[in-house]
Chain A
């Protein structure tokens, strides 16, 4: 199956196009709520590519954490900080410079990728799927200390977020 275009590749390119078009929607949409909705589509595309790469666990975590929790937080923040008085310019004055800089970065990245010889398995059938048990073994044996540290970091960060967003007692 290494010759020609396989069904997996077709699905990959469909997902990639959906993901990239949604990402362009995120950075160019004129309405900030539309930008958040495009962001959900882009995240779903990323989860689909995780599925194609045989990492179902990450696809699930992506949909649960990003697709629901983070997006809901962002929608709340958008609604809480909606400026009421005047329609606002959504783009800064340096927009042409930003577009040019990102296109330059894209050219540099693609040039580097094309110029490199990747030592991947010659045939796609040599790629083994990564099972959930393998990931669990890695996280809970080799990476157990970083895992605990990142859990502590997450709870400290969430406490800090609550403290930042809660009103002062002497405000009212």
Chain B
């Protein structure tokens, strides 16, 4: 098994890459992909803590949380893609900086 802090550093890099995608991309679907990368980094972190700590602390809550995160992410992807398809039908664009209908 690799040491815990190596896993945490890899996950921190993955999370930062996801943040970079959210902050630099224009296409809404690609922003969603980057959000999924961040979610994966977080759930990998929780699984690492659970696996390294469940002998000492006697529970595996981190693994259950990772399972729930996967379910929530599936719901979120379906809803967000519905919104993107809807926006594309109304505004003919999937770029977040061109959807400024609510911008004052």
Which residues on A are within 8 Å of B, measured CB to CB?
6, 8-9, 12-13, 16, 19-20, 23-24, 26-27, 32, 35-36, 39, 42-43, 46, 49-50, 52-55, 58, 61-62, 65-66, 69-70, 73-74, 76-78, 80-81, 83, 88-92, 94-95, 97-99, 101-103, 105-106, 109-110, 113-114, 116, 118-121, 124, 126-128, 130, 134-135, 138-139, 142-143, 146, 150-151, 153-154, 157-158, 160-165, 167
The interface residues of chain B lying within 8 Å CB-to-CB of A92 are 24-26, 97
Give the contacting residue for A143; candidates B32, B51, B64, B73; CB below 8 A.
Answer: B64
Shortest beta-carbon distance from A86 to chain B in Å: 11
The interface residues of chain B lying within 8 Å CB-to-CB of A158 are 75, 78
The interface residues of chain A lying within 8 Å CB-to-CB of B84 are 77, 81
Contact between A61 and B85 (Cβ–Cβ < 8 Å)?
A: no
Shortest beta-carbon distance from B51 to chain A in Å: 5
A46-B27 contact in complex given A69-B74, A150-B71, C-beta closer than 8 Å: no
Q: Which residue of A lies closest to B93 (CB)?
A: A83
Contact between A154 and B74 (Cβ–Cβ < 8 Å)?
A: yes
A102-B16 contact in complex given A52-B2, A135-B64, A150-B72, C-beta closer than 8 Å: yes
Inter-chain CA distance A68–B9, complex, in Å, is 27
The interface residues of chain B lying within 8 Å CB-to-CB of A167 are 89
Inter-chain CA distance A23–B30, complex, in Å, is 12
Inter-chain CA distance A89–B27, complex, in Å, is 9
Q: Which residue of A lies closest to B92 (CB)?
A: A83
The interface residues of chain A lying within 8 Å CB-to-CB of B61 are 138
